[in-house]
Amino acid sequence: MRVLLTAAGRRNYLVRYFQQAGATVIAADTSKYAAALAAADIALRAPLSNVPEYPDFITDVCRDYDVDLALSVNDHDLLPLSRMKGALAEVGTTAIVADPDIVQLAADKVSTNQLAERLGIGTVRMWTSVEEALGAADPPRAWVVKRRFGSGSTGLFVVQGPEELQAGVALSPNNSSSRDEQQAEVVIQEFLQGEEYGLDVLNDFQGSHTTTWVKRKLRMRAGETDLAEVVQDHELVSLGAEIGRELQHPGLADVDVIRTSSGLKLLDINPRFGGGYPFSHAAGANAPACLVAWKSEEPLHAAWLNPSIGTVSAKYDLVTQS
């Protein structure tokens, strides 16, 4: 079993998880110094996913190395990889990535909010311009300014008052040159107090929901969960199942939710392994083993789907040589 992990970055742990599941891991990254390359069985330098050479590079790697499974942990790689699913299947590779329309929906925070509204899931109030936010009925005391199509915490600001709101929108990184285009690239959300949770929503290769693992976020750092507890929460498990059935994505989707005094609110959907997955894995869950077993047409072990509730885990840093 050979697994290609693109945009491997610092995900040494994910390389190790697949190796422990019996796979040979081929890690690719645009930087030859990416830490995960040092942990991989085969390390490759990859072009950026937005250049014309990228599809040929991925296809050649999958064919030349007899890759069984291909996946990415980087939002920017998901759409190009998704569009290649058919071509990769022709060389025997199963791409663990959602269909293009789902990838695009999840990348757009406005579309994600609209999906939640259609499903009857609580949403955070959102505006696409300063004028809309300031003119809202019952305006919040604070706002969160973020990129509409952003990844992680890039360009995220918590602001109070009209002047700070204007400054946050102006400072949020964007790909546009004009002020009107910039407004469209930024979303403004109501800042909410509450307890945040991360859901790992696991579907099989046909997009059927298999299970949802729930983590209560205890500490955040640089946009990722740094400390978390695996919990049993039937309301959140049901929410994860509903999202999994709607998206019909293969493999994992990372879903962020906040529980407020007025109920659950959907924050974000990422149809890939999220930065919070290691907390589920540390408690006994094993998504990589499930993916390898599905590809091998072998049964899943019940233990892989049932992490130990109450397990608290923390991330830490290591130094590796390239």
Instruction: Write down all domains in the chain, each with its CATH number in brackets.
Output: 2-97 (3.40.50.20), 125-190 (3.30.1490.20), 193-314 (3.30.470.20)
Q: What is the pLDDT of residue 173?
A: 60
Query: Given this model, what pLDDT does residue 177 score?
Result: 39
Could you report the per-residue pLDDT of 107-150, keeping only the tens digit for each?
999 999 999 999 999 999 999 999 999 998 888 989 999 888 87
Mean pLDDT of 56-69: 98
For 247, the token pair is 């998206």
| Residue matched to tokens 């929503």 | 201
The answer, yes or no, to whether residue 8 has pLDDT greater than 60, is yes
Is residue 154's pLDDT more than 80?
no
> At a CB cut-off of 8 Å and minimum separation 6, what does 30 contact?
7, 45, 46, 47, 48
CB-CB contact of 307 with 292 (8 Å): no
pLDDT-derived band at 182 (thresholds 50, 70, 90) equals: very low
Helix axis angle for 12-20 and 287-296, nearest 10°, is 50
Whether residue 53 is predicted with pLDDT greater than 60 in this model: the reply is: yes
Predicted pLDDT at 68: 98
Q: What would the pLDDT profile of 214-243 be if each residue is shown by its tens digit?
A: 999 999 887 778 999 999 999 999 999 999
pLDDT band at 287 (very low <50, low <70, confident <90, very high): very high
Residue type, 14: L
Structure tokens at 163: 């002047």
pLDDT, averaged across the chain: 92
Which pLDDT belongs to residue 139? 85
Q: By percentage, how much of the chain surpasses pLDDT 90?
A: 81
Please tell me which residue, 220 or 85, carries the higher pLDDT value.
Answer: 85
Measured distance CA(304)–CA(301) in Å, rounded? 6
Residue 142 pLDDT:
93
Tokens coding 61:
């790697």
**pLDDT band at residue 320, thresholds of 50, 70 and 90?**
confident
The amino acid that residue 229 corresponds to is: E
Bridge partner list, 213: 200
Average pLDDT over residues 27-51: 96
Per-residue pLDDT band at 319 (split at 50, 70, 90): confident
| pLDDT for 180 | 42
The answer to whether 128 and 184 are in contact (CB under 8 A) is yes
Q: Residue 176: what pLDDT?
A: 43
- If pLDDT is split at 50, 70 and 90, which confidence band does 18 have? very high
**pLDDT on residue 184:** 55
Res. 183: pLDDT tops 70: no
Tokens linked to 75: 């939002």
Per-residue pLDDT for 153 more than 70?
no
Q: Would you say residue 14 has pLDDT above 70?
A: yes
pLDDT at res. 174? 55
3-state secondary structure the chain: CEEEEECCCCCHHHHHHHHHCCCEEEEEECCCCCHHHHHCCEEEECCCCCCCHHHHHHHHHHHHCCCCEEEECCHHHHHHHHHCHHHHHHCCCEECCCCHHHHHHHHCHHHHHHHHHHHCCCECCEECCHHHHHCCCCCCCCEEEEECCCCCCCCCEEECHHHHHHHHHHHCCCCCCCHHHHHHHEEEEECCCCEEEEEEEEECCCCCEEEEEEEEEEEEECCEEEEEEEECCHHHHHHHHHHHHHHCCCEEEEEEEEEECCEEEEEEEECCCCCCHHHHHHCCCCHHHHHHHHHHCCCCCHHHHCCCCCCEEECCCCCCCC
